[in-house]
Structure 1
Amino acid sequence: MVGCAIFGCVTSYRNSKLFFHTIEYYTDNSAYFNDDAPSSPSPQQLLQLLSNNNKHQQQQQQPLLQLSELTRSHIRCPEPLLPVYDKIINTNISTFGEQDEQEQKQQEQNNLIPKIIHLSWKSRCISQDMMEIVDKWKDQFPSYNIYIHDDSAVAALLNDNYWYDLFPQLQQIMTSCAKFGSAMTIDIWRILILYRYGVNLS
């Protein structure tokens, strides 16, 4: 896994460790790192419990939106903010959510972990200094596709009916325990984005 300190990042990467700093927002949109949040059961533990009870339903689910459809949006930014776009350098890199069963098995054999990096941020309109950080990621991983997920893209993934069939308790968890923009919400999103579009966590 690879993470970064400014953006909420998630990717699959061999022989690496996971480093995440969760960003939340006050009402004035200033950012702070949620290092002092109270301890609670991890999203991984919650989803693993749900998955164990519902694995038999997985093959009945309809596929989610393709990854490019999930993050694609028209961007109009007020000055001095700049629009940040996905970096797609290899359209032949399919994610597990975009393949039929035979293609998925073949890719699982050839490339268990697709070269995809997911960056999450409140908006796709960012400042110049933040754009420089995104550009560094793109330069550091020239062979990787990079997808930018704003709040709308995060919400679209979490609210897809696919998950509520696969994990029936997820909707209650999201409405009762996790509020949009909270640390738990983005932690659950990280698991789901990898579950469907990245490494097979089962």
Structure 2
Amino acid sequence: MNHCKVFCFILVLLAALVFGLFSSHAGAASQPSTPWSLIGFTSIYTPDRLKDIFTNRHSYQDSYLAALALNYRFARPSRSLGWEWEVQGVRHFGRQNHFETNALILARWYRFPWNDWVATTLAVGEGLSYAFRKPRLERKDHDDPSQLLNYLLFELTLSPEEQSRWYFSTRIHHRSGVFGLYNGVRGGSNFIGMGVGYRF
């Protein structure tokens, strides 16, 4: 991993933080009172592809992660849609042992017909992922895995009502080379997990 790529990743991370802080002041009058979230979650590794996860045809292996994420909703243009940024600190353990950090932008959908019974949101996030050591589990797809890869997040949240501070989160944590775009890497890794979030 050359220093230029690490430097670019840090710049993106800092830009996301600065943008979020600026937005918190610029849009304070129109934002709900709890735009921040702190999420703790844990996940288990699956060797299967994203499409296998979505069709429930996946398996699991003994490798895990524990993560803490800070999320900020910087725009809510309608009752249905919100925009957020998020930064994560991740610790891997089991078949691989390293730290990872991720920075991403998310789009979140709020309106579901059953929200009067269970408030539900669905989010998709896109960003960058940096592993502080070359991930062992990503060697199965590429002889020389990259520390810097693309990051995708899929999240489903459930809570008693939309204004609840506490909520349940289930997540898919996906790193990939985007068909060779990142250092020629065509593989990646997937983790499936759950956690708890707190809005403030």
TM range (shorter): under 0.3
TM-score w.r.t. length of structure 1: 0.26
> 1 or 2, which has the higher strand percentage?
2
TM-score by length of 2: 0.26
Name which structure has the greater RCO, CA cutoff 8 Å, separation 6+.
Answer: 1
